[in-house]
Amino acid sequence: MITLRGVALSSSAADDLSSEQAYLTTLYERLDHLRDQADQRLRAILLEAGGTPQGRTQREATRSHYAEQLAQMNAVENGLCFGRLDFTAGEPRYIGRLGLAAPEHGRDPLLIDWRAPAARSFYLATAVSPDGVKRRRHLRTRGRTLTGIDDEVLDLEAGATGGREDVTGEAALLSALTANRTGRMRDIVETIQAEQDAVIRAGLNGALVVQGGPGTGKTAVALHRAAYLLYTYRSQLTKQGVLILGPNPTFLRYISQVLPSLAETGVLLATLGDMYPGVRARAVERPAAAAVKGRLAMLTVLERAVADWQTVPDDHVEVDHDGYPLRIERAMLEDARAVARRSGRPHNVARQLFVTEAIHALSLAIADKIGADPLGGDNLLSESDLAETRRELREDVDVQQALFEFWPVLTPRRVLRELLADPERLAAAAGDLTGEERALLLREHDAAWTPADVPLLDELAELLGVDDTLKARTAARERREAIEYAEGVLEIVEGSRSLDFEDDSEEEILSAIDVVDASAFAERHEVIDTRTAAERAAADRTWVFGHVIIDEAQELSPLAWRLLMRRCPSRSMTVVGDVAQTSELAGTTGWEQVFEPYVGQRWNLVELTVNYRTPAEVMAVAADVLAAVDPALQPPRSVRSAGVAPWSLRVPPAALPAEIIAAVRLEAAEAGDGRVGVLVPEALEPELGRHLVEAVPGAAAGEQPDLLNQVVLMTVRQAKGLEFDAVIVVEPDVIIAESPRGLSDLYVAVTRATRRLGVLHTGDLPKVLTALAG
Ligand SMILES: Nc1ncnc2c1ncn2[C@@H]1O[C@H](COP(=O)(O)OP(=O)(O)OP(=O)(O)O)[C@@H](O)[C@H]1O
């Protein structure tokens, strides 16, 4: 009998199960013990109060450390340990979602975190290069109970390789791939493949581009990479935060469980529409309008739009100054404007210069008038008289208002709203755009923000800048208010001071007032910011992230890239996407054009080549579509077949809604508790969605359908990055015709299926799908 750290192990299968169960039980006992310990420490800290500011900051750090530990231990309850490695020499290693140290000092850990270097062979060892590994074991569990074991013996001489050489952990992998989908992405930590592992564990620095066809695990890899980076570079990244950018809110919900299941939560998940604090840009607009907004040409448009707010009067304006009429001449304002513009400072910052120059010119004009020497000598006003005049002018509300009109303080939202709602403003600023392009941009003044507006708002924020004097004034006001509040508190303390001590008491009693003044009190009670880096980053436009991960990156416009690069000056980024799947007209079809302007040649490209989602039968259909997108592109190789042939059905146009419902019922029955996706052209989505939702209980459609429903109808654009057990593509020829990138859209549509694909059409099948007709 072999024993491992006190638990008996043996070789027969039944004994194996029971000894592994015993080991699992030991691990859970250890987890429970550590959890109790963290819980007790956390409670003790929560009961503490008072102390110095440093003491409180320290306490807050310890509190968040234990709270985080607790959250991590709770998150790994399911699937705590999923693997074991046996070596030709030495003790086995157990691999899990978290590392667990042995209770005794100096002993090997009970469980190794999957991200630790010591766990790596679990993902890389093969019979050809076993790296000392004799056997890889996958442990299947439900809750705390072991339900099965899959072994791979990595011993060529013994003739038992345990399966295919191109995948590791084949049995566990196939069981994960063929499992029904739930509407939420699952983590793949138990079955990461070698080419994926290389991406996940790549170093932190520099830009890494992961190009891969549909289903190659780009999203899964990106999320596991975030978990790996947080584990490996924890202190750096928890301070600066990690951003994961996804294409839309539905997609973010789809992936939302993956990082928590890996015990990582401090990551900001966002869409482009969330990247301007205070704006949730969710409105949908015409793709052609979004394409114009995403172009670099918009930079000039925005610059001009801002400059157009810096105006001068036709001749002059007159204001009342101290009871006298004061002429503000056009020339004065032109000169002041020229000086402010020449400074190259952002509009709101340069405003100070404009005002200073204008007031200087005005004071000279006043001096000319009231200080002129009747005998023709030097002006009679002294320097200090002039300074006094300037001060009076500066404080004169009428003068201020007049100057404000010619160089107003602006916000990005105001500038963009006015620009896009005012044909004249737009024509003046967007002279380089065609009339058609300008027409695409025009919209109502109160139109809701769209994701393509966000990079424009961000550019405007850069062009406008923040007037620091305003900021300083606000800060000063806030501090004054805090002190006033503190004075109030101290008055209450003073008022409630117990007075019933003996008059002759020798003892001096110190009250709060005696030891602390209001300003120190205000400082002491400044709220300690307990938000995570991710939370603070979400509220701060200028936040610089430690690492940025971008999914479906091919869809981003040049202006969106500028925004993201500003958030990541270190260029420590992971960019995943597929240039064959680009739908957005401003998206990219080549990574060079994205990165060249920012990092030259200093970026790395890795390709993922194996498709884990789409079975070979479906991929054969998709390959024809891809060849039509670009004959030079290669589809990824499917790792499995489903044994089901894709189907197509021609139906009369009037019967389309009913046929969809019939097909959905059929596919839903086949899928069991799996998911069915109906992918339709944009133009037909509202009507077909309504029909389906009325007829089929548990069906969802609309702007942000809940993927937990068994049946979901959506456009291809909405289905980006998602997957379903069965997919029904409706009217593929309309999907192709709807956009210049229609073929790519169809490629995306047919590659969403994990098992079954069907196509419903009212006209001829498009040529690219003729394989289906046979
Ligand atoms: N190593 C793996 N083990 C288990 N499942 C995997 C593995 N790699 C990928 N998958 C699964 O394959 C499916 C496709 O993965 P994912 O969505 O990450 O692909 P993708 O490359 O982002 O696809 P697309 O470009 O179409 O959005 C998911 O269900 C994912 O969980």
**Which range is least confidently modeled, 376-390, 493-507, 609-623?**
493-507
* 489, pLDDT greater than 70: no
* 151, pLDDT greater than 60: yes
| Å from CA of 185 to ligand 1 middle | 9
| Å from CA of 604 to ligand 1 middle | 21
| Å from CA of 723 to ligand 1 middle | 9
Higher pLDDT, 477 or 418: 418
Q: Is 189 in the pocket of ligand 1 (CB under 6 A)?
A: no
Q: Looking at ligand 1, which residue's alpha carbon is closest to its atom 8?
A: 217
| Å from CA of 145 to ligand 1 middle | 27
Dump pLDDT digits (tens) for 297-354.
999 999 999 999 999 999 999 999 888 899 999 999 999 999 999 999 999 999 999 9
pLDDT at 525: 46
* 531, pLDDT greater than 80: no
Dump pLDDT digits (tens) for 423-443.
999 999 999 999 999 999 999
Q: How many CA atoms lie within 13 A of 318 on its CB side?
A: 3
The verdict on pTM exceeding 0.80 is yes
Q: Is 723 in the pocket of ligand 1 (CB under 6 A)?
A: yes
- Nearest residue to 691 via CA among 652, 657, 653: 657
Higher pLDDT, 613 or 60: 613
Q: Is 200 in the pocket of ligand 1 (CB under 6 A)?
A: no
Confidence class for position 468, pLDDT limits 50, 70, 90: low
| Residue to mutate (ligand 1; options 123, 181, 187, 216; most atoms within 8 A of CB) | 216
Counting atoms of ligand 1 from 1, which one is nearest the CA of 193?
1
User: Which string of DSSP letters, residue by residue, matches 732-766?
Assistant: HHHHHHTSTTHHHHHHHHHTTEEEEEEEEESSPPP
Q: Is 661 in the pocket of ligand 1 (CB under 6 A)?
A: no
**Which range is least confidently modeled, 216-225, 255-264, 498-507, 559-568?**
498-507
| Å from CA of 687 to ligand 1 middle | 31
Higher pLDDT, 473 or 382: 382
Q: Is 79 in the pocket of ligand 1 (CB under 6 A)?
A: no
pLDDT at 471: 61
Q: Looking at ligand 1, which residue's alpha carbon is closest to its atom 18?
A: 217
Residue carrying structure tokens 């907004």? 293
* 6, pLDDT greater than 60: no
Residue carrying structure tokens 């120190």? 520
Higher pLDDT, 478 or 100: 100
Confidence class for position 452, pLDDT limits 50, 70, 90: very high
Specify which residues 95 forms β-bridges with: 83, 112
- Nearest residue to 744 via CA among 583, 619, 506: 583
| Residue to mutate (ligand 1; options 167, 185, 188; most atoms within 8 A of CB) | 188
Dump pLDDT digits (tens) for 719-743.
999 999 999 999 999 999 999 999 9
Question: Do residues 122 and 111 make contact, with C-beta atoms less than 8 angstroms apart?
Answer: no
* 130, pLDDT greater than 60: yes
| Å from CA of 223 to ligand 1 middle | 11
Mean pLDDT of the chain: 88
Confidence class for position 224, pLDDT limits 50, 70, 90: very high
Q: Is 191 in the pocket of ligand 1 (CB under 6 A)?
A: yes
Counting atoms of ligand 1 from 1, which one is nearest the CA of 608?
21
Confidence class for position 472, pLDDT limits 50, 70, 90: low
**Which range is least confidently modeled, 93-107, 483-497, 579-593, 601-615?**
483-497
* 511, pLDDT greater than 50: no
| Å from CA of 217 to ligand 1 middle | 3
Higher pLDDT, 165 or 35: 35
Confidence class for position 589, pLDDT limits 50, 70, 90: confident
| Burial status of residue 762 (CB atoms within 10 A of its CB: 0-12, 13-18, 19 or more) | middle
pLDDT at 506: 40
pLDDT at 739: 92
pLDDT at 57: 80
pLDDT at 159: 56
| Å from CA of 49 to ligand 1 middle | 48
Please compute Rg for the chain using Cα positions: 33
**Which range is least confidently modeled, 157-171, 197-211, 616-630?**
157-171
| Residue to mutate (ligand 1; options 613, 745, 747; most atoms within 8 A of CB) | 613
* 568, pLDDT greater than 80: yes
Counting atoms of ligand 1 from 1, which one is nearest the CA of 576?
22
Q: Is 558 in the pocket of ligand 1 (CB under 6 A)?
A: no
Exposure string over 211-241, b if 16+ CB within 10 A, otherwise e? bbbbbbbbbbbbbbbbbbbbbebeeebbebb
- Spatial separation of the C-alpha atoms in residues 603 and 593, rounded to whole Å: 12
Q: Looking at ligand 1, which residue's alpha carbon is closest to its atom 27?
A: 721
| Å from CA of 127 to ligand 1 middle | 25
| Å from CA of 307 to ligand 1 middle | 48
Q: Is 578 in the pocket of ligand 1 (CB under 6 A)?
A: yes
pLDDT at 118: 95
Q: Is 216 in the pocket of ligand 1 (CB under 6 A)?
A: yes
Please give the distance of CA 509 from its chain centroid, rounded to a whole number: 56
Q: Is 615 in the pocket of ligand 1 (CB under 6 A)?
A: no
Q: Is 577 in the pocket of ligand 1 (CB under 6 A)?
A: no
Question: Do residues 333 and 346 make contact, with C-beta atoms less than 8 angstroms apart?
Answer: no
**Which range is least confidently modeled, 142-151, 482-491, 675-684?**
482-491
- Please give the average per-residue pLDDT across 215-229, as a whole number: 97
Q: Looking at ligand 1, which residue's alpha carbon is closest to its atom 24?
A: 214
Q: Is 82 in the pocket of ligand 1 (CB under 6 A)?
A: no
| Å from CA of 611 to ligand 1 middle | 8
Q: Is 214 in the pocket of ligand 1 (CB under 6 A)?
A: yes
Q: Is 26 in the pocket of ligand 1 (CB under 6 A)?
A: no
SS3 100: strand
Q: Is 219 in the pocket of ligand 1 (CB under 6 A)?
A: yes
| Å from CA of 219 to ligand 1 middle | 6
Higher pLDDT, 382 or 586: 586
Q: Looking at ligand 1, which residue's alpha carbon is closest to its atom 9?
A: 217
* 200, pLDDT greater than 70: yes
Residues annotated in the binding site for ATP, as ranges?
212-219
Q: Is 217 in the pocket of ligand 1 (CB under 6 A)?
A: yes
Residues annotated in the binding site, as ranges?
212-219
Q: Is 752 in the pocket of ligand 1 (CB under 6 A)?
A: no
- Spatial separation of the C-alpha atoms in residues 332 and 446, rounded to whole Å: 36
pLDDT at 1: 40
Counting atoms of ligand 1 from 1, which one is nearest the CA of 748?
26
* 129, pLDDT greater than 50: yes
Q: Looking at ligand 1, which residue's alpha carbon is closest to its atom 26?
A: 214
Counting atoms of ligand 1 from 1, which one is nearest the CA of 612?
12
Question: Do residues 541 and 243 make contact, with C-beta atoms less than 8 angstroms apart?
Answer: no
pLDDT at 529: 62
Q: Is 586 in the pocket of ligand 1 (CB under 6 A)?
A: no
* 684, pLDDT greater than 70: yes
* 715, pLDDT greater than 90: yes
- Nearest residue to 437 via CA among 601, 298, 318, 604: 298
| Å from CA of 202 to ligand 1 middle | 19
pLDDT at 265: 78
Confidence class for position 481, pLDDT limits 50, 70, 90: low
**Which range is least confidently modeled, 5-19, 202-216, 549-563?**
5-19
Dump pLDDT digits (tens) for 609-651.
999 999 999 999 999 999 999 999 899 999 999 899 999 999 9
Q: For the range 466-474, what are the long-range contacts, defined as Cβ-Cβ under 8 Å and sequence gap of 24 or more?
A: 466/346, 466/348, 466/349, 467/348, 467/349, 467/351, 467/352, 467/409, 468/349, 469/352, 470/348, 470/409
pLDDT at 341: 97
| Residue to mutate (ligand 1; options 150, 166, 167, 177; most atoms within 8 A of CB) | 177
Counting atoms of ligand 1 from 1, which one is nearest the CA of 192?
1
Q: Is the ipTM of this complex over 0.95?
A: yes
| Å from CA of 753 to ligand 1 middle | 12
pLDDT at 139: 96
Counting atoms of ligand 1 from 1, which one is nearest the CA of 177?
5
pLDDT above 70 coverage of the chain, percent: 88
Q: Is 247 in the pocket of ligand 1 (CB under 6 A)?
A: no
Name residue 482's amino acid. Answer: A
Q: Looking at ligand 1, which residue's alpha carbon is closest to its atom 29?
A: 613
